[in-house]
């Protein structure tokens, strides 16, 4: 009886390990989609978000993850041409991260695309972009 239980336990363990390996292999080839949301005019928050985006690309592979950073409200101020994180945004965009500005916030603040750092894209509404991405299965991260 003990021998039978030991054999059954060994088979169960082998199945669990095999399933874990298969899951890990599947995760390595899975395309991830992540949207970061920034609402603060704070270089610390922006640097944290840009660090997280870069770290995520390093962890899962740049080609295995699609990343958007969307800002609305006061967070939009860090997307301006003279932003203290402009070089970091440029690096992120060069690595395939999309940086998106809320068009509704821009309209309320009387900003145009010329006020933004080159390469920043404008979406009609930041929260609408987030809603659409979440409905499509994207992971939402608020920084």
- What was the pLDDT predicted at 3? 47
The C-alpha atoms of residue 50 and residue 98 are separated, in whole angstroms, by 11
Mean pLDDT score of the chain:
85
The reported pLDDT for the residue numbered 28 is 58
Strand ranges for 29-138 from DSSP E: 32-38, 65-71, 98-102, 121-123
Q: What is the Cα–Cα distance from 68 to 126, expressed in whole angstroms?
A: 11
Specify the pLDDT at position 40: 95
pLDDT of the residue at 81: 79
At 137 the three-state DSSP class reads coil
Residue 56 token pair: 């995520």
Contact 29, 64 (CB under 8 A): yes
């Amino acid at each position: 009886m003990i021998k039978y239980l030991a054999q059954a336990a060994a088979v169960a363990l082998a199945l669990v390990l095999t399933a874990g390996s298969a899951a890990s292999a599947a995760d390595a080839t899975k395309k991830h989609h992540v949207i970061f949301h920034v609402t603060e005019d704070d270089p610390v928050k922006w640097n944290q978000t840009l660090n997280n985006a870069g770290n995520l690309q390093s962890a899962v592979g740049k080609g295995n993850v699609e990343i958007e950073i969307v800002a609305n409200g006061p967070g939009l101020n860090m997307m301006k041409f003279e932003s203290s994180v402009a070089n970091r945004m440029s690096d992120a965009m060069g690595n395939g991260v999309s940086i998106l500005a809320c068009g509704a916030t821009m309209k309320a603040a009387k900003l145009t695309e010329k006020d933004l750092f080159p390469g920043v894209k404008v979406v009609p509404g930041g929260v609408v972009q987030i809603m659409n991405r979440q409905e499509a299965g994207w992971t939402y991260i608020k920084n």
